[in-house]
Structure 1
Amino acid sequence: MPTSTHKFGLKIFFAAAMFVITDKAVAQSNTQVLEQMGHLIDDALFFSDQYVTPATDAAVYQAASGWITSPRKRELWDVSLGIHTNVFFTPKRDREFTINNSDFTFFQLEEGTSATVPTALGNDDQVYLSGMLGDSEVRLETPQGMDMQTVAYPYLQGSVALWGGTELVAKYSTRVKLKKSNYQVYGFGVKHNISQYLDSLTQKKFHIAVLAAYSNEDVSFNFLDIKTDYGTLGISEINGIVDTWHFQASASKEFGRFEVLGSFIYSTSDVEYKVGGEKGSIEAIIPLQDVLNTRLKEIYKTRVNYIGEAGVSYKINNFSVQTILAFGKFVNTNISLQYLF
């Protein structure tokens, strides 16, 4: 028969064994959750790319319009200031995309094996996706789009004439609140008049100019608001940041108070993505926003665009009213009221 000392030793042994077994089970559970979290991040990365890329492609066109309002040579220190409004037409092909269960490693559609969902430029249709994180279900609605066939936003643009037919041009908008999104742009450029070297053109009121410019567009959308038993994920906003170098050649002809403009634009854009919004409570376990933003570098893009422009302006004393149509993959209209000081 075991003595009391033996009984005490057995209790210690069994307690230690239970601690090891429990600790191992917790470690296995944590490993499983972290692995599942990795799959969730992979799915969020896939969905982010499909959802926001059409909007960043469109942002290039929005920022490209209206840099050269006239290729005419200005007098030294002439200053112009204009209020511009971009009206962007969202093409149907870029308002939606198809997801399949085979696209995901964590989520699955709750109904069917495939579904059509909106991009950031699309409508407000939603479907449910779900997956298991540990022993708990994670369920989400796919994000809505802007549900706007045309997107309009204002910005300011100004220029100052320097020596030798050169102008500095700048554009800026505050953070503009659009439906379920925000947009901001700023940029600067240098324009140089070419026709000043060809008297035969200027005498016939033909004007030619070239421009090099840089712009930054930041467009953000409501994204995924996911709640889990491990905390909120804190990825309620996704941003597309577009850095564009813009090269343009323009020619115009004056007809009395009217000036008709045509341009060719080459642009190259570096597109980056990041998630934001208020950080979720899951950050106590894993720095999810930082992890996602590191992973989003995998879908950074460089876009090259060739864009045509056609425009017409009408001058009334020092005021000028202008409409410019930019066309290529997308169509964007720029309407402005300018004043020459």
Structure 2
Amino acid sequence: MKRYLISLLTLLMFVVSNSYAQKSTSFEGFVTDMKTIAGNFASPASNGAAYQASAGWFSSAAPLETWDVRFSVHGNALFVPTSEKSFTISKGELGFLSIEDADNAKLPTAFGSSTDVYFTGRLEGEFNGQNVSQDVRFKALDGINKGFVPHAFVQASVGLPYGTELTVRAMPEVTIDDVQASTFGAGLKHNLSQYFSRNEPENLQLAAGISYSKFNVKYAFEPIPIENYLVMDLIDVDANLWMGEFIASKQYGGFEIFGALGATSSDFKYVMGGSGDFLDNVNVELEDLGDTEIQFKGDIGFNMYFNNLRVSTMATAGKFFNLNLGIHYTL
């Protein structure tokens, strides 16, 4: 999850500068350039998070028996294609900033490795009746250098009347390096085959499902001071992810194959921790930075039944590829 948090370090620079002054075209150009850089850096990570959050919700179109309860443990692995690890930026895409000693550069996204590219410029404007003049030179952001990103969670499901199934998901807060992360969510699945004539459990089963997931991530980093104005040392990110899909499954004794087609909608909200007179200004500006992304995806997988125990595997494909392994026990 650290992948899409790091991008905010760049965004903060333009937010603070935008608070300094609104009258100077140099500030406006700086803001535009930072949006370009940060957008290219963060977009793959945001898209990848939606694939992780959508996996593992439903692995069969058949519903649980009414009031039966199932507990599940899941592990995800999001695989990052090479095309999502870097992007190229050129001098022509920047209006105010310059690429130091170059006209273009290949930079890492949040999933990429490190870089030694620097950006430079000079901000000038007016703040509280005083002229502000400040040189800007900063290193382009480094990625987390990962080819795949793991993610684990637990689920509990209960069978409801009318062929409906309720699932809740949670991952208690865990700390890895300087990142604290947690997730929870809920999903509903409704069997559609019950409305067909001559429907039997061994027949092809169809269902529709919807889910909501919420990620919360806190990333503590080495304090970044903006002299006389602000110190930043923590990013708190809330991610809201919705998914809707149609599921089909067919059971052959203790083996079941399933597939699904669906769409996800995701948005992210950011709050900055630290100190200084401008911290509130930063967080007010960050309220407008949330972005909504809609993506389409497909799932395919199978289940193996062993009495009350079931093992599921699922591959989710689209812009990214995600594998999910689940172990389920029905009471």
Picking from 278, 286, 310, the partner of 2:300 is: 310
Separation in structure 2 between the aligned mates of residue 226 and residue 135 of structure 1, nearest angstrom: 19
What is the DSSP-based 3-state SS (H/G/I as helix, E as strand, rest coil) of the residue aligned with 1:49? helix
Picking from 171, 174, 184, the partner of 2:172 is: 174
What residue in structure 2 maps to residue 256 of structure 1? Answer: 253
Separation in structure 1 between the aligned mates of residue 281 and residue 28 of structure 2, nearest angstrom: 10
Query: What TM-score results when the alignment is normalised by the length of structure 2?
Result: 0.79
Separation in structure 1 between the aligned mates of residue 324 and residue 294 of structure 2, nearest angstrom: 21
What residue in structure 2 maps to residue 63 of structure 1? Answer: 53
Q: Structure 1 pair 203/316, CA: closer, same or farther in 2 (3 Å)?
A: closer
Q: Give the conservation status (yes or no) of the 8 Å contact 2:72–2:156.
A: yes
Please report how far the alpha carbon of residue 206 of structure 1 lies from its aligned counterpart in structure 2 after TM superposition.
2.9
Separation in structure 2 between the aligned mates of residue 172 and residue 55 of structure 1, nearest angstrom: 21
What residue in structure 1 maps to residue 118 of structure 2? Answer: 128
- After superposition, where does 1:109-124 map in structure 2 within 5 Å? 109-124=99-114
Q: Any idea what the Cα deviations from partners look like across 1:143-199, whole Å, max 9, x if unmatched?
A: 211211011110111111111211111112234556776654322121112223446
Please report how far the alpha carbon of residue 80 of structure 1 lies from its aligned counterpart in structure 2 after TM superposition.
0.7
- After superposition, where does 1:27-66 map in structure 2 within 5 Å? 39-66=29-56
Structure number with greater Rg is 1
Question: What is the number of residues matched between the two proteins?
Answer: 304
Q: Give the conservation status (yes or no) of the 8 Å contact 1:311–1:323.
A: yes
Please report how far the alpha carbon of residue 247 of structure 1 lies from its aligned counterpart in structure 2 after TM superposition.
1.6
Q: Give the conservation status (yes or no) of the 8 Å contact 2:216–2:236.
A: no
What is the DSSP-based 3-state SS (H/G/I as helix, E as strand, rest coil) of the residue aligned with 2:144? coil
For structure 1, the residue ranges without an aligned partner over 5 or more in a row are: 1-29
Give the AA of the match of 1:168.
L
Q: Any idea what the Cα deviations from partners look like across 1:193-222, whole Å, max 9, x if unmatched?
A: 222344644253432221122222346668
Give the AA of the match of 1:89.
F
Q: Structure 1 pair 128/176, CA: closer, same or farther in 2 (3 Å)?
A: farther
Q: Give the conservation status (yes or no) of the 8 Å contact 1:138–1:228.
A: no
Picking from 284, 293, 296, the partner of 2:286 is: 293
What residue in structure 1 maps to residue 263 of structure 2? Answer: 266
Picking from 42, 65, 76, the partner of 1:86 is: 76
Separation in structure 2 between the aligned mates of residue 226 and residue 65 of structure 1, nearest angstrom: 36
Q: Structure 1 pair 81/96, CA: closer, same or farther in 2 (3 Å)?
A: same
Q: Any idea what the Cα deviations from partners look like across 1:207-243, whole Å, max 9, x if unmatched?
A: 222112222234666889655554555276474x443
Q: Any idea what the Cα deviations from partners look like across 1:98-122, whole Å, max 9, x if unmatched?
A: 2334444554322212211111122
Q: Which runs of structure 1 show a deviation greater than 6 angstroms over 4 or more consecutive aligned residues?
A: 30-35, 220-225
What residue in structure 2 maps to residue 196 of structure 1? Answer: 194
Query: What TM-score results when the alignment is normalised by the length of structure 1?
Result: 0.77
Q: Give the conservation status (yes or no) of the 8 Å contact 1:235–1:289.
A: no
What residue in structure 2 maps to residue 284 of structure 1? Answer: 277
Q: Give the conservation status (yes or no) of the 8 Å contact 2:168–2:184.
A: yes
Separation in structure 1 between the aligned mates of residue 206 and residue 98 of structure 2, nearest angstrom: 57
Give the AA of the match of 2:90.
N
Identity rate, percent? 28
Separation in structure 1 between the aligned mates of residue 178 and residue 39 of structure 2, nearest angstrom: 18
> Aligned-residue CA RMSD in angstroms?
3.2
For structure 2, the residue ranges without an aligned partner over 5 or more in a row are: 1-19, 124-131
Please report how far the alpha carbon of residue 338 of structure 1 lies from its aligned counterpart in structure 2 after TM superposition.
1.0
| Higher helix residue share | 1
Please report how far the alpha carbon of residue 46 of structure 1 lies from its aligned counterpart in structure 2 after TM superposition.
3.0
Q: Any idea what the Cα deviations from partners look like across 1:54-84, whole Å, max 9, x if unmatched?
A: 1111111111111112222322211111111
